[in-house]
Structure formats: C-alpha cells, structure tokens
Amino acid sequence: MRDAAAEEPPDPRLDSVPVPEFKAAYLIHGDDHGRVTERRARLRALADAQSGPGGVEVLEADAATPAAVAQALNAMTFAVGRRFIVVDGVERWKEADVESALAAALADPPADTTVAFFAREDGRQQAPKALHSAVRAAGGDIAAEQVLKGRDLPRWAAGEAQRLGLQMDGAAVQALIAQVGERQQRLLRELEKLAIEHGSGAQIGVEEVEDSAAASAERQVWGLVDAMVAGDRVGCTARYLELRAQGEDPAGLIPRMAGRLRDVLGIAERLAAGASPGEVKSSLRMSPYAADRRIREARASDPGTLRRGVEAMAALEVATRGGSALEVDTEALLTITAIAR
C-alpha cells in the first residue's frame, strides 16, 4: 500500500524517457520489506546510470547515523552531475538524534543532491516522526510500503490491474492470488507480465491467469503433494528437486508439504463423514478458487492413503531434525516416493 502523495522515482529500464527530476529527499518506509528493498535497488540503479558509482554514497549499518548523513550533506564534493546519498536502517534512529543532528541540514539541502532514507519497519522499530518532518521540510517525498491483510489483497490487485489497463473479474483476481501467493511485489510483477502479454484493455479471466501466472513455490508445493497422492513417483521427485534448486530450505519446505497433506486429509475426512462440498468450502480460510481445487483433490483421494502419508511426513520431520544419519534430501526423497508408491 503506497502513500498517495508519494512520487516514486521513474523506472530506469525505459531508455527513451527524459532524465528524471529528482527531489532533495525521499523516505521509503514500511513493513513490506521486500517492496522497500525493491525500491532501494531501483533508485540505486537509476542513480548509478545517471551519475556513475562515484556519484553514489551508501550509508548503512553503524555508518548510517543522523550525524553521518548531516556530515555527508555538508561535505564538499567533486562529483560531476547529481549526487546521491542512500541511507539504510533509519528505523533504528531516535527522534532526538534526528532533531539535533540532521533536521537543520535537511532544512537547507545542497543543490544537485538527493538523499534517500530506507526504513524496514516492524511493530517496535519505526522511522522517527522527526525524519518524516525533516523530509517534508526539504520538499521531499514519503512513500509507505505496507503489507496488506489477506482480505484487502483482492481489491488492491484489482486496482493495480485497472491501473495497468487490464480488466479482471473477481474470479481471475482470486485465481491469481491462489497461484502466485500473497506477496504484493510478486502479484504486481505477474500483473505487469499479463499487461505486456495481452495489451491494454484486455479482458483477463481465470484461463489467462492459469496460462500466464508464474508458479509460486506455494503452488509448486501443492503440485508436489498432488503428485504424491496420485502415485506419481517421478513427478513428485522432480518437483521436490525443482523446489530445492530454487533455494527452498528443507527446514521450511518439509513442514509446508506436511501441512498441505494434512489440509487435503482434513477435507477428505469431512467429505467422507457426510459434509457437503459447499459446507466445507465455506469453512476454508482461502480464496474460493483455491478452495474449489482443494475440494476436488480431496474427493479424488482416499482418506486412508492420505492418513498414512501424513504419518510418514511426521516421521520425516522428526528424522530431519537430527533423528537420522541420512542427508535431509535423501530422507525427503525416500519418504516422498514411499508415499507415492
């Protein structure tokens, strides 16, 4: 979620656009750490392209203090063109330090200089209010990058689709979230890809989403579980190795696999006990599109087979926490193929 008044520096990937007008100061903050990091990388790339590495100064870790920024702003420079100062970790700053050491320097910033502050916030650490005030006093922009709650994602995604010139109905939006996951930057990348593939004004439905949206790790986990339940030993082995090649850690991957298998078992047991698909669907905490898929998978599965699979996955979790002399991946592949067999 972005501050409506914030102006994001232009995208450096477009070579045909004029040299952008930079403001004296920017503050990018929020609890969407991925988006904050993305904004920092984009600004750094644009700064390097415009001024070269010699025109960019980065202050981070212990070197990033209000006093150090003030000193950098007041320092003489022989850099040609615009100078950029990138400051990381300002969520750790104290109000008093900003007021005493930095506010005056930002009140009268040097010409041809841009200072950009980045804060990856959480409940305890926030960019100081004094820094917000100082950036505004410098004529700068502030952007808030906040993680949306799950219930707000469909409306946000639909709005981003409209901004990109796409027409998406509710089912298509739900399908996109089910396939890609709830990370806003990942959703935005997929929407941008859909806009490039289909063009402005295109009507995007579930079919277009399924054809175009990249498979997220979460969706790949579901595919792995599907292959296990279906007895596809080659398929589940290949999917596990793909996830590992993408950098997925077994410590997080195996519990997610076990959790997905338990989800399908729970649905299968409720259906076997006489619950209707509609009753089950209304109780599931997931998008309607995802719920329909999970119910179809459960109806095609045998509860006894699923139960044995859950027990095997529980044993695998124990084995991979030091309960086996085998390598983690070896244990995982043996269990996965045993369930499929």
Q: Note whether 315 and 227 are same-domain residues.
A: yes
Which of the listed residues 158, 179, 212 is the one where a domain comes to its end?
212
According to the 3-state scheme, what is the secondary structure of the chain?
Answer: CCCCCCCCCCCCCCCCCCCCCCCCEEEEEECCHHHHHHHHHHHHHHHHHHHCHHHEEEECHHHCCHHHHHHHHHCCCCCCCCEEEEEECHHHCCHHHHHHHCHHHHHCCCCCEEEEEEEECCCCCCCCHHHHHHHHHCCCEEEECCCCCHHHHHHHHHHHHHHCCCEECHHHHHHHHHHHCCCHHHHHHHHHHHHHHHCCCCEECHHHHHHHCCCCHHHHHHHHHHHHHCCCHHHHHHHHHHHHHCCCCHHHHHHHHHHHHHHHHHHHHHHHCCCCHHHHHHHCCCCHHHHHHHHHHHHCCCHHHHHHHHHHHHHHHHHHHHHCCCCHHHHHHHHHHHHHC
Total number of domains constituting the chain? 3
Q: Note whether 134 and 197 are same-domain residues.
A: no
In a domain, 17, yes or no: no
| pLDDT tens per residue, range 88-139 | 999 999 999 999 999 999 988 888 899 999 999 887 889 999 999 999 999 9
Q: Note whether 114 and 227 are same-domain residues.
A: no
> Residue 164: which CATH number?
1.10.8.60
Q: Note whether 197 and 177 are same-domain residues.
A: yes
In a domain, 20, yes or no: no
Q: Note whether 259 and 239 are same-domain residues.
A: yes
| pLDDT tens per residue, range 28-61 | 999 888 778 888 888 888 888 888 777 889 998 8
For residues 206 and 220, the model is more confident at 206
Q: What is the pLDDT of residue 80?
A: 67
Q: What is the pLDDT of residue 299?
A: 84
Q: Note whether 122 and 200 are same-domain residues.
A: no
In a domain, 165, yes or no: yes
For residues 270 and 227, the model is more confident at 270
pLDDT at 247 over 80: no
In a domain, 12, yes or no: no
In a domain, 303, yes or no: yes
Which of the listed residues 212, 230, 247 is the one where a domain comes to its end?
212
> Residue 333: which CATH number?
1.20.272.10
In a domain, 19, yes or no: no
Q: Note whether 126 and 161 are same-domain residues.
A: no
In a domain, 226, yes or no: yes
Q: Note whether 139 and 51 are same-domain residues.
A: yes
| pLDDT tens per residue, range 158-215 | 988 999 999 998 888 888 887 777 777 778 888 888 888 888 888 888 878 876 654 5
Q: What is the pLDDT of residue 341?
A: 73
| pTM for the predicted model, two decimal places | 0.48
Which of the listed residues 165, 187, 212 is the one where a domain comes to its end?
212
Q: What is the pLDDT of residue 16?
A: 41
> Residue 104: which CATH number?
3.40.50.300
Q: Note whether 224 and 335 are same-domain residues.
A: yes
Q: What is the pLDDT of residue 323?
A: 59
Structural domain for 264, as ranges: 217-340
